[in-house]
């Protein structure tokens, strides 16, 4: 069988956000998805609001957008609808890659066949997977382009991690990681990176083998950091923690889009398998130390400070962002990177100042609600 890759308009954007639902009493995760979905069902908004695997999570996704500004506008509109619905139900909606103190044993699985299957297959991992990520889709013309872009963006995975990191706390403690969420993702057998394939034909061959082994049924079974999405005609970046604000979500999309534009223009670049020798190490560094990570360049063997790399890359792609309508967004990321300020830092500062993790979640709600 073949995987048909549906062509789409290059550099179009789509953003999905997994969001936390908490009560406003002790700010623990709460069962609220079906009530909230019912409450907003009749409200008009762009994009889509839908349930996720547990009752404490909902997912919002934009339509296919042409610019980061449109992403921002759609996310803002959905945020307004959700915040209004949540206010009536006395719920809080928040970003952040993990809930700081929830116990995974308390989670309930949303009752659909797919989620029940996942829960049966993965056991406690399915409940531990109560982590919250942002996915960014970037449109590509063909499967070959998708493979090339997946390889090209793989070296920026540490950037995406450090810029979006918002999960310093898990299980009631500071994990010392800026993004502890990805440690949970790593437990899944098909996590990590796409194997080194040269083009779409090779990818299809690989997929066919995996299917023949009976390991996967569909692309959904791959939990890679970046994966081609043939039915949408996109590649999907999945390493981002859900940021504390929709503004940051749109900024990250702008950066990914600008990077993709730069790769499209740079025909001299081609993927090389040795980039994956350092992939897991660099990824770990970014999760653990955020902007302070030390990143290894597989070709020059240089060790560099991630913050410096990010600032350099953002400056490099700024003209592309400008052209695509994401100039301002990339500019804001640049100042954040220069100040080494990500959401993990914000959350740690709240704990320092207020003294308890419920206060941290309360601040996260206020940030996402926009008050």
Cβ 102 to other proteins shortest distance, Å = 12
CA dist., res. 274 & res. 131, Å (int): 31
1 or 41, CB closer to other proteins? 41
32 or 100, CB closer to other proteins? 32
Cβ 109 to other proteins shortest distance, Å = 9
Cβ 370 to other proteins shortest distance, Å = 16
31 or 332, CB closer to other proteins? 31
Cβ 87 to other proteins shortest distance, Å = 5
Cβ 35 to other proteins shortest distance, Å = 5
24 or 142, CB closer to other proteins? 24
Cβ 119 to other proteins shortest distance, Å = 12
39 or 286, CB closer to other proteins? 39
Q: Which neighbouring-strand residues pair with 138? A: 13, 235
Cβ 175 to other proteins shortest distance, Å = 20
Cβ pair 116, 109 in contact under 8 A: yes
208 or 370, CB closer to other proteins? 370
Cβ 24 to other proteins shortest distance, Å = 7
Q: Which neighbouring-strand residues pair with 19? A: 58
- Which tokens go with 131? 């982590």
91 or 259, CB closer to other proteins? 91
Q: Which residues bind other proteins (CB under 8 A)?
A: 23-26, 30-32, 35, 38-39, 55, 87-90, 106, 108, 354-356, 358-359, 362
Cβ 131 to other proteins shortest distance, Å = 19
Cβ 51 to other proteins shortest distance, Å = 14
23 or 66, CB closer to other proteins? 23
51 or 358, CB closer to other proteins? 358
Cα angle for residues 315, 319, 321 (degrees, 5° grid) = 90
Secondary structure (H, E, C), the chain: CCCCCCCCCCCCEEEEEEEEEEECCCCCECCCHHHHHHHHCCCCCCCEEEECCECCEEEEECCCECCHHHHHHHHHHHHHHHHHHHHHHCEEEECCCCCCCCCHHHCCECCCHHHHHHHHHHCHHHHHCCCCEEEEEEECCCHHHHHHHHHHHHCCHHHHHHHHCCECEECCEECCCCECHHHHHCCCCCEECCCCCCCHHHHHHHHHHHHHHCCCCCHHHCEECEEEECCCCEEEEEEEECCCCHHHHHHHHHHHHHHHHHHHHCCCCCCCHHHHCCHHHHHHHHHHHHHHCEEECCCCCCEEEHHHHHHHHHHHHHHHHHHHCCHHHHHHHHHHHHCCCCHHHHHHHHHHHHCCHHHHHHHHHHHHHCC
CB half-sphere exposure, 10, CA atoms < 13 A: 15
115 or 196, CB closer to other proteins? 115
CA dist., res. 33 & res. 61, Å (int): 15
Phi, psi of 270 (to 5 degrees): -140, 150
């Amino acid at each position: 069988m073949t995987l048909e890759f549906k062509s789409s308009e290059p550099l179009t954007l789509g953003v999905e956000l997994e969001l936390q639902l908490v009560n406003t009493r002790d700010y623990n995760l709460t069962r609220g998805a079906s009530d909230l979905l019912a409450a907003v069902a009749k409200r008009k908004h762009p994009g889509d609001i839908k349930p996720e695997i547990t009752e404490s999570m909902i997912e919002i996704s934009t339509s296919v957008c042409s610019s980061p500004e449109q992403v921002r506008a759609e996310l803002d509109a959905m945020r307004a609808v959700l915040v209004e619905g949540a206010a009536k139900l006395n719920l809080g909606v928040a970003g952040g890659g993990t809930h700081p103190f929830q116990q995974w044993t308390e989670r309930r699985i949303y009752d659909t066949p797919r989620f029940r299957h996942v829960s049966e297959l993965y056991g406690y991992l399915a409940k531990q997977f109560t982590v919250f990520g942002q996915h960014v889709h970037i449109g590509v013309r063909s499967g070959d382009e998708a493979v090339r872009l997946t390889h090209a963006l793989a070296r920026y995975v540490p950037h995406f991690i450090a810029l979006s990191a918002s999960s310093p706390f898990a299980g009631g403690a500071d994990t010392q990681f800026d993004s502890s969420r990805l440690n949970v993702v790593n437990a899944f057998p098909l996590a990590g990176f796409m194997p080194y394939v040269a083009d779409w034909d090779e990818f299809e061959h690989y997929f066919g083998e995996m299917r023949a082994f009976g390991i996967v049924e569909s692309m959904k079974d791959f939990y890679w950091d970046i994966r081609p999405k043939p039915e949408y005609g996109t590649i999907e970046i999945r390493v981002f923690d859900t940021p504390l604000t929709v503004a940051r979500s749109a900024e990250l999309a702008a950066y990914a889009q600008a990077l993709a534009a730069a790769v499209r223009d740079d025909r001299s670049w081609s993927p090389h398998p040795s980039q994956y020798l350092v992939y897991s190490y660099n990824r770990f560094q970014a999760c653990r130390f955020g902007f302070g990570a030390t990143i290894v360049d597989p070709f020059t063997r240089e060790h560099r400070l991630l913050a410096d790399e990010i600032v350099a890359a953002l400056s490099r792609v700024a003209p592309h962002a400008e052209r695509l309508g994401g100039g301002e967004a990339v500019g804001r990321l640049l100042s954040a990177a220069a100040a080494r300020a990500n959401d993990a830092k914000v959350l740690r500062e709240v704990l320092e100042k207020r003294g308890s993790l419920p206060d941290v979640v309360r601040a996260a709600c206020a940030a996402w609600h926009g008050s």
